[in-house]
């Protein structure tokens, strides 16, 4: 895919990985819409800020109406409440699902017809190593990311005959606001953004951005005992 002739929409583009993705696409010649709940927070020169709250269907519909030329959609917007499934606030659990599953689905439904009408293109969903592995203390996030992974697989099959390639990017910790309290090694958002853009160009369906994600992916074949060796 030639990004220099593409028009991209990146959700959650006002900071972190979303901003890095928008910058990377710009550097490759793409026209970029930077979606954010508050477009006034978008500070990247060269992009077109656009109001987009992925949890609000009316906002998604308005963004689709305001564009018309999108051929690349990157679903990056996310949330992380640090909520466990047994004792955590159900509203926080619903927020995770509303953002990562229903929000992603809403944006895809809102823009898929536009991408197809423009001759096809690509959709990239930013997933996580935690799509494949769960920490109980953040069970809501893990469950939502796992649901988003399944969604990605289903939409990939459904949209293929419309000329839309649907991919997922799995990454562990990145150096963003969301992981500011984490002391483990973190990837630079600019590096992940570069890998994401490379994957779109190459038509890769599954982009695994770091060694931790690759280790977790390999562990899937070993079942529960491989992923959770502490289990009796």
- Residue with token string 């390639």: 165
Whole-prediction pTM value?
0.95
Residues in the chain: 232
What average pLDDT is seen over the chain? 96
What does residue 68 show for φ and ψ, rounded to 5 degrees? 110, -20
- Cβ neighbours of residue 154 closer than 8 Å, sequence gap 6 or more: none
- At residue 179, does pLDDT exceed 90? no
Using a 10 angstrom Cβ sphere, with 0-12 exposed, 13-18 middle and 19 or more buried, the burial of residue 82 is middle
Categorize the per-residue pLDDT at 184 as very low, low, confident or very high, splitting at 50, 70 and 90. Answer: confident
How large is the average pLDDT for residues 160-179?
91
Give dist(CA 149, CA 38) in Å, integer: 27
Tens-digit pLDDT profile for residues 36-80: 999 999 999 999 999 999 999 999 999 999 999 999 999 999 999
Give dist(CA 4, CA 6) in Å, integer: 6
Return the CA Rg of the chain: 17
Residue scoring higher pLDDT (175 or 98): 98
How large is the average pLDDT for residues 163-173?
96
- 3-class secondary-structure state, position 75: strand
- Cβ neighbours of residue 53 closer than 8 Å, sequence gap 6 or more: 37, 59, 60
Give dist(CA 229, CA 68) in Å, integer: 49
């Amino acid at each position: 895919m030639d990004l220099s002739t593409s028009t991209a929409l990146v959700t959650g583009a006002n900071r972190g990985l979303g901003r890095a993705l928008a910058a990377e696409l710009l550097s490759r010649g793409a026209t970029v819409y930077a979606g954010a709940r508050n477009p006034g927070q978008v500070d990247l020169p060269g992009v077109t800020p656009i109001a987009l709250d992925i949890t609000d269907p009316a906002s998604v519909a308005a963004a689709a109406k305001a564009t018309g030329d999108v051929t690349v959609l990157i679903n990056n917007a996310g949330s992380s409440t640090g909520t466990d499934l047994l004792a955590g606030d159900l509203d926080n659990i619903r927020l995770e699902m509303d953002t990562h599953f229903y929000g992603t689905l809403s944006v895809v439904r809102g823009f898929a017809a536009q991408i197809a009408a423009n001759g096809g293109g690509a959709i990239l969903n930013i997933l996580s190593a935690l799509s494949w592995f769960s920490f109980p203390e953040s069970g809501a996030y893990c469950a939502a990311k796992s649901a988003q992974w399944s969604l990605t697989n289903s939409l990939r099959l459904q949209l293929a005959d419309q000329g839309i390639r649907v991919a997922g990017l799995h990454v562990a910790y990145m150096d963003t606001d969301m992981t500011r309290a984490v002391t483990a090694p973190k990837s630079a958002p600019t590096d992940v953004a570069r890998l994401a853009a490379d994957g779109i160009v190459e038509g890769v369906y599954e982009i695994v951005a770091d060694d931790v994600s690759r280790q977790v992916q390999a562990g899937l074949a070993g079942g529960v005992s491989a992923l959770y060796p502490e289990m009796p």
